[in-house]
Amino acid sequence: MRKISAAIVGYGNLGKSAEKVIASSSDIDLYGIFSRRDSLDTGSPVFNVADVEKHSENIDVFYLCLGSATDIPEMSEKFARLACTVDTYDNHHYVAKHYEQMDEIAKASGNVSIVSTGWDPGMFSLNRVYASAVLPNSDQHTFWGPGVSQGHSDALRRIDGVQKAVQYTLPDEGALDKARQGNAQGLTGQQAHKRQCFVVADESEHARIEKEIREMPDYFVGYEVEINFISSEEFDRDHAGMPHGGYVITTGQANGTQDTIEYSLKLEKNADFTAAVAVAYGRAAVRMKEQGVSGAKTVLEVAPYLIHPAPLSELISKNV
């Protein structure tokens, strides 16, 4: 079986993690990295993103390692016209719109675009559906953190005047306990979480930046938000790591008995895990295209065996 030829678009934390994951994948080769920057600190081939069409015939799948705030909505359709794509778009409110836009382009181009991979959306999405299918009259809650949100941190860094920024999502422990006991009916995500921001910026910009953070729709409005302005040295010392994780907790009755399904993730480095999920779904995108499939897909529409490097017969013998 031939190896999949992959390219990475963007070389921030996620792009660097995808490069490492691909290097450890026996069935995927990295053709190169496409960036708007002239040079990158990498041994992989680097190309200007403006020249992508010159290389597209050599590429099976683009990993769009771009921010959800602006880059994915503005740039992803261009790549879907050229080859299969995988992205990690994580603005839950607009996933359906993004899916619809990518579906039209991918179908017209005969490619497969798998959207919103990662852990949430992504692995958590799968567990929410599996658990609610088994317990259809259930009470279900998703908790994020404690840890760094890449999407929210990227949104902070895009505010004019912000030099460095990170956002931690912190779940409420009391809300977690209620969910596990099946007593959290009506609990909202805003009530169950706190958003903690650490920002480096000139002091003269603090008031304006804080106002923009608190008024940012889809990211911070409606949440308890703590904003801390710190020095660049403190940021580098205390906020260089990228841990994250969370829980999907579903309680209900299968046949008159109380049941609980809990799925959890504890991630030492958010970007590494998110990249690992995206790379696996790139394998599925290429396989689906070879089967004659086209259009946008979410993780809910991809058969599990398609993301795994092992053949289906081996997966059945070991896991069923």
Binding-site residues from annotation for substrate? 144, 169, 195, 244, 270
Rounded distance between C-alpha atoms, residue 303 and residue 280, angstroms: 12
Nearby residues of 165 by Cβ (< 8 Å), 6 or more positions away: 153, 156, 157, 159, 197, 198, 199, 200
188: exposed, middle or buried (Cβ count in 10 Å: 0-12, 13-18, 19+): exposed
Binding-site residue positions for NADP(+): 11-14, 35-37, 65-68, 88-90, 117-121
DSSP 107-143: HHHT-EEE-S-SBTTBHHHHHHHHHHHHSTT-EEEEE
Three-class SS of residue 179? helix
Q: End-to-end alpha-carbon separation of the chain, Å?
A: 25
- Locate 25 and state its tokens: 């994948």
Rounded distance between C-alpha atoms, residue 294 and residue 211, angstroms: 43
Binding-site residue positions: 11-14, 35-37, 65-68, 88-90, 117-121, 144, 169, 195, 244, 270
H/E stretch holding 247 reads strand 244-253
